[in-house]
Amino acid sequence: MSALLGVIFHFIGGFASGSFYMPFKKVKGWKWESYWIIGGLFSWLIVPPLAAWLTIDGFADIISATDTSILGMTFLFGVLWGIGGLT
């Protein structure tokens, strides 16, 4: 069963990775910065919390019960990861 779950998760990941570029065909007239920022907003800020809210029972309660220092460190390391990705 674990192998089947692994195959299913790889399929979902591959589909998500491949379908990320599908909307780019419709925005060929845009500058590349514009469609990358739209794609980034969806893939970094909109879809992950939405997916967590849809799939994890009590997601909002878990986040609201988390200590602010933990959330602050999470955001800090996220920003550092982004800076590392840019460099």
**What would the pLDDT profile of 11-67 be if each residue is shown by its tens digit?**
988 887 777 666 667 777 888 788 778 878 888 888 889 999 999 999 999 999 999
**Contact (Cβ atoms closer than 8 angstroms) between residue 56 and residue 62:** yes
The pLDDT of residue 72 is: 96
The reported pTM is: 0.59
Torsion of CA 17, 22, 27, 30, to 10 degrees: 20
The pLDDT of residue 22 is: 66
Q: Any idea what the Cα angle at residue 75 is, between residues 66 and 15, rounded to 5°?
A: 100
d(CA 77, CA 75): 6
